[in-house]
């Protein structure tokens, strides 16, 4: 089947199944094309909860679909490839977070949304890259704060808020591939470009950036800025949606090597099979879901 035929069949089945397709900004270009809604982790989970559709096909990684299942227990949440995990989320088994908490009794626990439902159930609050400083600022002064699993996002949030955080030693291996030398090279090659990077990058990369933004923050800045040229320091396919939305502007990946292999596990065929066979269903045990929901709702009420 050609991509056109696959897309036609997906559209048909979507209507029959009362389904919507939510797509993360890092998905491959052909998957971005079938999105009813394209966005960052926070916007996608909100959209999943707000949507009137009974089935949601989540084209992203597992924790994102799980977050949708936490927020929308009455809906069928499908992930086209259940092996599309997030190595950073996998760095934080719930048992490790429990052990970390025991070393810091009384600390408020903030879990980055890139974590399993079981880890979120151990947290007081969730955050995303779009709202980490706001979430931290909502915690009363003087409280100890554990931030997990992303030590780089945590380091950046610490600098933004002036608060001290106890950092769990996780990180995103994809963003860690981007080094300072790549940013300096990209600047030399495109001296008029504005450099925007994701806060999952290392502190050395963040120090070289003009703007530090979540993926939806990048979309907004590219749309609203008078600048015509941008260096994009995050997953390379982020440039796909930026280019489509801003045909008159130029976007250069800071490094074409920064590819998240898990985000690329979803393709049009798998989306079609997912709709045809109603698979792979993502569910969260109710006891964990209710605890994780508290942390996710606490975040949503702040931002
Ligand atoms: P955003 O929330 O900025 O979309 O980031 C999600 C992610 O996994 C980044 O690696
Ligand atoms: Fe996880 Fe990093 Fe991939 Fe985002 S880019 S999904 S944090 S591995």
What pLDDT shows up at residue 301?
A: 85
Strand pairing partners for 281?
A: 78
SS3 254: coil
Residue 42, pLDDT > 80, answer: no
Mutate to test the pocket of ligand 2, among 85, 235, 258, 265 (most ligand atoms within 8 A of CB): 235
pLDDT band for 40, please (50, 70, 90 cuts). Answer: confident
Give the residue among 139, 146, 140, 141 at the shortest CA–CA distance from 104.
146
Determine the average pLDDT of the residues in 249-261: 97
Taking the centre of ligand 1 as the mean of its atom positions, its distance from the CA of residue 41, in whole angstroms, is 6
Residue 303, pLDDT > 70, answer: no
Residues near 259 by Cβ (< 8 Å), separated by ≥ 6? 174, 235, 236, 237
In angstroms, the CA 212 to CA 218 distance is 9
Residue 271: which region, alpha, beta or left (left: phi > 0; alpha: psi -120 to 50)?
A: alpha
Residue 9, pLDDT > 80, answer: yes
Q: Write down all domains in the chain, each with its CATH number in brackets.
A: 3-85+263-284 (3.40.50.10800), 88-170+287-302 (3.40.50.10800), 178-253 (3.40.50.10800)
The number of beta carbons lying within 10 Å of the beta carbon of residue 13 is: 17
274 lines ligand 1 (CB under 6 A): no
pLDDT band for 268, please (50, 70, 90 cuts). Answer: very high
Mean pLDDT, rounded, of the chain? 96
Residue 252, pLDDT > 90, answer: yes
pLDDT digits (tens, 9 = 90+) for 204-248: 999 999 999 999 999 999 999 999 999 999 999 999 999 999 999
In angstroms, the CA 197 to CA 209 distance is 6
128 lines ligand 1 (CB under 6 A): yes
Task: Give residues (CB < 6 A) around ligand 2.
Answer: 61, 86-88, 114, 172, 174-175, 200, 235, 260, 262-263
The pTM of this model reads 0.96
pLDDT digits (tens, 9 = 90+) for 74-117: 999 999 999 999 999 999 999 999 999 999 999 999 999 999 99
Strand pairing partners for 1?
A: none
């Amino acid at each position: 089947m050609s991509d056109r035929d696959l897309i036609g069949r997906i559209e048909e089945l979507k209507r029959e199944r009362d389904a919507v397709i939510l797509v993360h900004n890092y998905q491959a270009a052909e998957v971005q094309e079938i999105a009813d809604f394209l966005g960052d982790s926070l916007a996608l989970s909100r959209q999943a909860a707000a949507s009137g559709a009974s089935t949601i096909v989540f084209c992203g990684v597992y924790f994102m679909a799980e977050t949708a299942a936490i927020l929308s227990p009455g809906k069928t949440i499908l992930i086209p490839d259940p092996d599309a995990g997030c190595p950073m989320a996998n760095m934080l088994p719930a048992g490790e977070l429990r052990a970390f908490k025991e070393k810091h009794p009384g600390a408020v626990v903030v879990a980055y949304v890139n974590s399993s439902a079981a880890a979120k159930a151990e947290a007081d609050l969730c955050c995303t890259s779009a709202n980490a400083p706001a979430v931290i600022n909502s915690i009363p002064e003087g409280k100890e704060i554990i931030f997990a699993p992303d030590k780089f996002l945590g380091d950046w949030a610490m600098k933004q808020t002036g608060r001290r955080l106890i950092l769990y030693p996780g990180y995103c291996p994809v963003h860690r591939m981007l080094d300072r030398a790549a940013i300096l090279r990209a600047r030399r090659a495109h001296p008029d470009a504005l450099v925007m990077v994701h806060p999952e990058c290392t502190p050395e990369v963040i120090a070289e950036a003009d703007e530090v933004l979540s993926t939806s923050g990048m979309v907004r800045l590219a749309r609203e800025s008078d600048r015509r040229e941008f260096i994009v320091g995050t997953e390379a396919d982020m440039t796909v949606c930026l280019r489509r939305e801003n045909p008159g502007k130029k976007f250069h990946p800071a490094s074409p090597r920064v590819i998240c292999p898990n985000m690329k596990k979803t393709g049009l065929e798998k989306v079609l099979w997912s709709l045809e066979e109603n698979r792979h269903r993502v569910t969260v045990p109710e006891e964990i879901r209710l605890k994780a929901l508290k942390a996710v709702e606490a975040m949503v009420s702040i931002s």
